[in-house]
Structure 1
Amino acid sequence: MKKVVTMVGTSIFENYVREIDDQYFGNDMEDLKEKAAEEYKENDPRIKRIKSKLEKWISEFSESDKEELSAEIKSLVKLKERFKEDFEVYLLYSDTAMGKLAAEIIRDVLQNMKIFKDSEIKKPDCINNLQIQDNEKFIIGMNNLIHKFYDEIATSGWGDNVIINITGGYKATIPYLTILGQVNKSPIFYIFEDTDALIEIPYLPLDIKWDLFEKYEDLFLEFNKEGIIEREEELPYNVKKELEGLIEVEGKLLYLNSFGLIFWEKYKEKYFFYYASEETQREIEKQLNIKKILQTKFWDKQIREGKTELKNGHYVYDDGNNRYRIFYIEKDGRIYIYKTFEDYGDYRYYLENVKGETVKFEDIKANSKLWKIIKER
């Protein structure tokens, strides 16, 4: 089943207005235009009126004509006809009430079309802060959109598994989504609403300086989920120049821009990063089974959490029917490993004699260095 990600715009409203002369509908839409997605429920009477009119209008379309309702529906139908496979459709909308309403209506239409009867139309997702009135919020919103791909959608791999449909939504997102698809070798499609031509963006080989991410790993790992660092000192001029185009600098504040985030997330896919003291790392280097677990299982958040137990105040990764154990702390998106065992007797002695509350995170952090290991899937 292919994952098809479709940005949702407002073409379904525009098409209605083009066909139906309805001043009251226009007034409701105008009142809704500046509302954020979180204000959706507060505007329930207005939304119900809009939905009711649209549902009546949609009911007059035959099955074969429904693709003309909106650019999103039309492009999805054309993609379905091209690939002839079942789809997992992700409808992503901007942080606006109109975006949420459009996505809900489009989902209802898709779920009732025969061509999508064996496909899964996911519940529409809001991309927080993705709006075009505030540039700072737009940058954060774009980063949230990129995280949505890396953290939730493309977890089983990129390439042909993920199709990016850039037909709908803000045109400002197109350059970022195009680069995202290019970097991950995922097909990108666009359709002009007034035509039936489905256009695939050709793949272009990109010359990416991956060595910059290796050189500045420590710096990139400091960025929080929103892509912001507040430093005590300004970034040196030569570093700013090297990272130009990947980060934005405002005094002591650094912002990882959306292009930087796309490339950084791609770079991270290859490695598992963790923190440990030099003493702990020397132990890991000698423990071939522990190294293998780090490479093949521990890096995977779902596996790690499923095999972690709280024992005597410690978070312990218990690999199962064997002797291998990893003691760690996960904080602020970072993993600090402070003890590893391949000998069961040594593990039991440590667990019974060292209470978790005596292990101070501040001490572990102060003595830790950044390490990485190549992931194996």
Structure 2
Amino acid sequence: MRVMVTTVGTSVLRAVKPDEQEWLTQLANRREGELTKEEQEKLEQLAHEALGYLAARSYSDVRDLSAELNGLLGYYGGTPTSEAKRDVHFMLHSDTYQGRLCTKILKLWLEDQGFAQVEAVEVPGLSTKNASVFQDSVGHLLKWVEETLRPYKESGYTVVFNTTGGFKATLLVLSTIGMVMADEIVNIFEGSKELLRIPRLPVQWEPERSLEAHVPLVRRMAELQEAVPAGEAHGLPEALLQRRDDGTVTLSVWGKMVWQGTKARFYQKELLPSPSPHVRYGSKFVESARPHEGQREMRYINEAIDAFVRYLVSNRQEHVSSHTFKQLKGNPLPPSTHEVYAFADKRIFLHEEGGVWVLDLLAEGLH
């Protein structure tokens, strides 16, 4: 049983119209709303032609038209067997118009060839030139790895990363993740059909120990996306950090990956200290949360607090997602004036004092 994760670029469009390389490059990072109607129509026509090209050609010729399929077919020895066609395939692509089009082409071709399980996975910001947005996209990707890919691996699937296609920044990130998550990384140099196979690093690393004494700090960097003074991160492994020119540090790709893989254990263990000076815990709240220590519900409580703090620091321009924050009607539970959804029927009741929100109590919601 195998899971193949393939990074998708724009090679299949470029192969159809080599003379349009410059034009395709100019539009490579644009999303649907950033293109004119004429540009969209031209790209759609290229996509239609590309799918026709692939459908009419042999496996060998297909490998010349698509870097992604060159890697996949190369992994299968040039011709996939019926057993290979039962593998699970994830096609990782950007949220650009070309990224979506190329993934659609490859997915349709694979399904037409009999591959039964092919899923497109869109990761926002993967191709952007904006470093801040790209860092956010890495977070989305790591979350997908933890929530979708890790369960396959833990179920005994062999995980293979095919990084033959895709944007350079994406390949760097996925190759880094693959050193820990994948059983094998495969690639093919441009203009070649010879498969390069990189096995998983034979190392044992216990990342939980690296973070154990620094959970509050790492939580701020990971969940609140804070850059902290380098001195505060003293003691954290250098590989987990990304240093900035202003003397601060954030989490590196490795750091984010380690956090995503260990966060649940820390969050479930106990009520973590408040991640922000804008939020303070009342004694009754601490006592009401204590019975959930070591349980999944404690993780939900810590996550609800993260979501509320993100809401506060974003100047309340963002929603609190499922952790709904709303004002109480009347005065049913003084001094609390508001509630935040925690889990099931449980709510965190809170009020504001001098610009600081005090969490008063964890209790059943009011009806």
Q: TM-score, normalised by structure 1?
A: 0.65
Residue in structure 1 matched with residue 93 of structure 2 by the alignment: 93
Residue in structure 1 matched with residue 122 of structure 2 by the alignment: 126
1:332 aligns with 2:329: no
**CA shift for structure 1 position 328:** 9.8
**CA shift for structure 1 position 169:** 0.9
Written as runs of structure 1 = structure 2, the 5 A alignment for 1:158-169 is 158=154, 160-169=157-166
Describe the SS at the equivalent of 2:4.
strand
Written as runs of structure 1 = structure 2, the 5 A alignment for 1:130-279 is 130-131=126-127, 133-158=129-154, 160-184=157-181, 186-206=183-203, 208=205, 210=207, 211-223=209-221, 228-229=225-226, 235=229, 237=231, 239-240=233-234, 242=236, 244-248=238-242, 255-268=250-263, 270=265, 272-273=267-268, 274-275=270-271, 279=287
Q: Distance in 2 between matches of 1:283 and 1:103?
A: 48
Taking a change above 3 Å as real, the CA distance of residues 281 and 72 of structure 1, as seen in their structure-2 partners, is: same
Q: Distance in 1 between matches of 2:303 and 2:48?
A: 52
Q: TM-score, normalised by structure 2?
A: 0.66
Give the conservation status (yes or no) of the 8 Å contact 1:184–1:266.
no
**CA shift for structure 1 position 239:** 2.6
Give the conservation status (yes or no) of the 8 Å contact 1:74–1:193.
no
Q: Percent identity?
A: 20
- The answer for unaligned runs of 5 or more in structure 2 is 273-284, 309-331, 340-347, 362-367
Q: Distance in 1 between matches of 2:109 and 2:218?
A: 43
Give the conservation status (yes or no) of the 8 Å contact 2:350–2:360.
no
Q: Distance in 1 between matches of 2:136 and 2:242?
A: 12
Q: Distance in 1 between matches of 2:261 and 2:75?
A: 26
Taking a change above 3 Å as real, the CA distance of residues 282 and 330 of structure 1, as seen in their structure-2 partners, is: closer
Describe the SS at the equivalent of 2:304.
strand
Q: Distance in 1 between matches of 2:98 and 2:258?
A: 31
Q: Distance in 2 between matches of 1:212 and 1:103?
A: 38
The AA in structure 2 aligned to 1:99 is G
Q: Distance in 1 between matches of 2:188 and 2:21?
A: 26
Superposed CA offset, 1:318-350 (max 9, x none): xxxxxxxxx99934359xxxxxxxxxxxxxxxx
Describe the SS at the equivalent of 1:163.
strand
- The answer for unaligned runs of 5 or more in structure 1 is 286-290, 302-326, 335-352, 369-377
1:360 aligns with 2:349: yes
Taking a change above 3 Å as real, the CA distance of residues 166 and 365 of structure 1, as seen in their structure-2 partners, is: farther
**CA shift for structure 1 position 70:** 0.7
Q: Count how many residue pairs are aligned between Structure 1 and Structure 2.
A: 304
Q: Distance in 2 between matches of 1:299 and 1:197?
A: 50
Residue in structure 2 matched with residue 49 of structure 1 by the alignment: 45
Describe the SS at the equivalent of 2:199.
coil
Describe the SS at the equivalent of 2:193.
coil
